[in-house]
């Protein structure tokens, strides 16, 4: 029974995913966990000194998780000899600084290239052939159609997973692994090596066509259209089924990259069964496949990736091109939870994180090159993360039932309406109030954002930074003009401060009380201060300034 018991305890400690309503939760140490993350720059985990120096800083920044490269070339500098020194150092420093780790497998593919393959492999291009461009140029990309490349990558990845299992099975410091990094094809939409060409002219695998047929109703619209144009054939080569263009080449690339990744994922699962994901560089700025890394887990290729790599839990976007709301929505799907492993580091990361968790039940959020954050960026992120850490037990308790919404505003998108039954919530950027000089002196507005969580019909959490929120009944006719009121509630210019219309009857909703709170680890609310005066415009709205992050507990009431 000792063996049984220890197996049982170990089994429970391994991080895993679970479904809760429409949400997917990452469970770490038996509790649902939100990754308040940051990803290290590419070279910072290759130095023992850097790891020692940076990890305490990351903890101070409020991170609970760090995303760290695991480099093939440094793990297997000589074929068959493995060195896990940097992995051990990372895990050790993470534990000392109360951080979890996501390892990024820089294996055969790093931003499409094979720069992290060890030199012995790079040099032996006969045994480990290259991908070729359309004109027959060998590239610094190992061909994923080579059995030898796959075998070598899979072997070292297997050793890595064994090692993680050995040192971490009972502790669960390593919570996920990313397989490869921004896999995709450059210079063209596919590999033109001999093997690749032969495969391209073969029949499209039956398994893929079965998958697409079975899931036809929920395929990405662009894939459905492309397939439909050729008459929804299920037998033939790639061009016969999908047409003769670059995007067909890309479908081919994505399926075989997915199959490559699937082999590694299966290996990992059989050794140490923690969540696995694959990240993608976006196809932004109107580029064509091959101009952007073709065939990675892009939004329009998600079905192909699901067919080709069923052992992967999540397909995840790396976001460097602005418009967080629209990119994130493309990846929050009923069959794909949102995890943002990389996002450009800016002063707005904190509010974006609130949005990701509030709107999309995200698994996590993680700015890139985190150890290089500026002093002001670090301060702002740590304020956001510290509030999100407090919110974690409450957010995860209500996840998956449509109780929370995210807010994210900038100078162009300043307002959002939200309805819960007959309650109408109007949320705006804080600078929609004209009281702060920065709202109209030409300054670029910092993004405002946060989340609204409905605890009960008359009880809400409003949290974040740079937002103002009003509550009304759906049918209530607005008759009080607040726009020329000063912060103290009196008209800025004196004179009349309200316009009377006629009243159409019906119940109204009022703000009963607003408290700034903190939340303890069990999810209990601890009041800090009451905000029923100027700070809520004498009961007219709930707001959080652009320079602070706060958690507000709002009670509403009805009157007639
Ligand atoms: C990312 C990072 C690192 C305005 C780039 C993003 C990381 C990789 N690639 O610093 O290389 O390892 O995953 C590529 C997208 C950049 C687009 C910039 C557009």
Interface confidence (ipTM) of the complex: 0.94
190 alpha carbon – ligand 1 mean position (Å)? 21
**Phi, psi (5° rounding) for residue 63?**
-65, 145
CATH 3.20.20.80 positions along the chain are 2-202+251-401
The predicted pLDDT at position 497 comes to 47
What's the CA gap between 63 and 514, in Å, rounded? 29
Provide the H-helix boundaries in 97-174.
119-123, 147-168
Nearest atom (ligand 1) to Cα of 181: 13
> Collapsing DSSP states into helix, strand and coil, what is residue 298?
coil
Contact 408, 352 (CB under 8 A): yes
151 alpha carbon – ligand 1 mean position (Å)? 27
Nearest atom (ligand 1) to Cα of 369: 10
What's the CA gap between 174 and 171, in Å, rounded? 8
**pLDDT over threshold 80, residue 330:** yes
332 alpha carbon – ligand 1 mean position (Å)? 21
| Cα dihedral across residues 321, 326, 332, 333: positive or negative | negative
Residue 177, beta-bridge partner list: 103, 276
Nearest CA to ligand 1 atom 12: 42
Question: What are the structure tokens assigned to 487, written together?
Answer: 């912060």
Ligand 1 pocket (Cβ < 6 Å) reads: 42, 111, 181-182, 281, 318, 320-321, 342, 368
Residue to mutate, 43, 346, 368, ligand 1, most ligand atoms under 8 Å from C-beta: 368
List the single range of 8-17, 97-106, 152-161 with lowest mean pLDDT.
Answer: 8-17
The predicted pLDDT at position 440 comes to 94
Nearest CA to ligand 1 atom 16: 320
Tell how strand 23-28 and strand 31-33 pair up: antiparallel
Question: What are the structure tokens assigned to 233, written together?
Answer: 């054939």
**Phi, psi (5° rounding) for residue 297?**
-75, 65
Mean pLDDT across 20-44: 98
Q: Which strand (E) or helix (H) includes residue 450?
A: strand 448-456
CATH of domain 405-559: 2.60.220.20
The pLDDT tens digits for 439-471 are: 999 999 999 999 999 999 999 999 999 999 999
- Going by C-alpha positions, the residue among 71, 180, 199, 80 that lies closest to residue 131 is 199
498 alpha carbon – ligand 1 mean position (Å)? 52
Average pLDDT score, the chain: 94
Residue 370: partners with Cβ closer than 8 Å, 6 or more residues away: 37, 38, 39, 40, 58, 61, 63, 66, 345
- Going by C-alpha positions, the residue among 45, 128, 42 that lies closest to residue 85 is 45
Tell how strand 174-178 and strand 276-281 pair up: parallel
346 alpha carbon – ligand 1 mean position (Å)? 14
CATH 2.60.220.20 positions along the chain are 405-559
Residue 181: partners with Cβ closer than 8 Å, 6 or more residues away: 69, 104, 105, 106, 109, 110, 111, 279
456 alpha carbon – ligand 1 mean position (Å)? 42
Contact 33, 26 (CB under 8 A): yes
Q: Which CATH class is domain 2-202+251-401?
A: alpha beta
The predicted pLDDT at position 503 comes to 77
The pLDDT tens digits for 213-260 are: 999 999 999 999 999 999 999 999 999 999 999 999 999 999 999 999
Nearest atom (ligand 1) to Cα of 182: 13
Give the chain's radius of gyration (CA, Å): 26
pLDDT band (50, 70, 90) for residue 506: confident
What's the CA gap between 316 and 242, in Å, rounded? 25
3-state percent helix, strand, coil for the chain, nearest multiple of 5 = 35, 30, 40
The predicted pLDDT at position 477 comes to 55
Mean pLDDT across 172-197: 98
> Residues 479-514, buried b or exposed e (16+ Cβ, 10 A)?
eeeeeebeeeeeeeeeeebeeeeeeeeeeebebeeb
384 alpha carbon – ligand 1 mean position (Å)? 24
Residue to mutate, 111, 278, 293, ligand 1, most ligand atoms under 8 Å from C-beta: 111
DSSP class of 181: B
Nearest CA to ligand 1 atom 6: 281
From residue 514, alpha-carbon distances to 9, 431, 537 in Å are 43, 21, 11
> Residues 327-350, buried b or exposed e (16+ Cβ, 10 A)?
bbebbbeeebbbbbbbbbbbebbb
């Amino acid at each position: 029974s000792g063996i049984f018991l220890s197996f049982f305890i170990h089994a429970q400690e391994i991080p895993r995913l679970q479904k809760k309503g429409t949400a997917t939760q990452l469970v770490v140490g038996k509790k649902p966990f939100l990754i308040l993350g940051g990803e290290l720059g590419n070279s910072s985990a290759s130095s023992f000194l850097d790891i020692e120096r940076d990890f305490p800083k990351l903890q101070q920044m409020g991170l609970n998780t760090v995303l760290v490269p695991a480099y093939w070339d440094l793990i297997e500098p000589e074929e068959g000899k493995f060195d896990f020194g940097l992995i051990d150092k990372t895990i050790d420093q993470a534990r000392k600084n109360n951080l979890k780790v996501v390892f990024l497998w820089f294996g055969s593919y790093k931003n499409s290239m094979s720069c992290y393959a060890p030199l012995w492999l790079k040099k032996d291009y006969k045994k480990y052939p290259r991908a070729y461009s359309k004109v027959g140029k060998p590239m610094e990309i190992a061909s994923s159609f080579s059995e030898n490349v796959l075998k070598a990558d899979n072997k070292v990845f297997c050793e890595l997973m064994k090692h993680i299992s050995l040192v971490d099975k009972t502790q669960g410091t390593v919570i996920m692994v990313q397989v490869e990094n921004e896999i995709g094809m450059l210079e063209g939409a596919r590999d033109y090596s001999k093997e690749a060409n032969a495969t391209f002219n073969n029949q499209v695998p039956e398994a893929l066509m079965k998958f697409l047929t079975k899931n036809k109703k929920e395929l990405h619209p662009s894939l459905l259209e492309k397939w439909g144009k050729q008459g929804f054939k299920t037998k033939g080569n790639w061009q016969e089924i999908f047409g003769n263009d670059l995007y067909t080449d890309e479908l081919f690339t994505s399926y075989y990259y997915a199959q490559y990744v699937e082999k590694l994922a299966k290996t990992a699962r059989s050794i140490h069964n923690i969540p696995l994901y694959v990240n993608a560089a976006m196809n932004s700025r109107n580029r064509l496949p091959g101009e952007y890394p073709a065939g990675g887990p892009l939004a329009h290729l998600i079905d192909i990736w699901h067919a080709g790599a069923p052992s992967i839990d999540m397909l995840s976007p790396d976001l460097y091109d602005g418009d967080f709301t629209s990119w994130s929505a493309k990846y929050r799907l009923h069959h794909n939870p949102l995890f943002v492993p990389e996002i450009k580091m800016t002063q707005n990361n904190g509010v974006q994180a609130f949005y990701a968790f509030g709107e999309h039940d995200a698994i996590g959020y993680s700015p890139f090159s985190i150890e290089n954050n500026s002093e002001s960026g670090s301060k702002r992120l740590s304020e956001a993360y510290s509030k999100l850490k407090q919110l974690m037990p409450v957010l995860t308790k209500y996840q998956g039932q449509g109780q929370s919404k995210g807010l994210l505003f900038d100078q162009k998108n300043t307002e959002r309406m939200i309805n819960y039954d007959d309650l109408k919530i109007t949320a705006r950027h804080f600078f929609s109030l004209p009281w702060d000089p920065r709202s109209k002196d030409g300054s670029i507005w910092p993004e405002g954002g946060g989340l609204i969580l409905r605890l009960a019909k008359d009880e809400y959490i409003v949290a974040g930074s740079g937002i103002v929120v009003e509550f009304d009944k759906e049918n209530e006719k607005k008759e009080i003009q607040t726009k020329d009121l000063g912060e103290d509630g009196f008209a800025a210019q004196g004179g009349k401060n309200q316009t009377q219309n006629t009243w159409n009857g019906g119940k109204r909703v009022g703000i009963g009380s607003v408290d700034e709170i903190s939340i303890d680890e069990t999810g209990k609310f601890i009041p800090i201060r009451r905000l029923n005066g100027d700070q809520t415009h004498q009961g007219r709205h709930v707001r959080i300034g652009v320079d602070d992050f706060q958690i507000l507990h709002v009670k509403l009431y009805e009157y007639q």
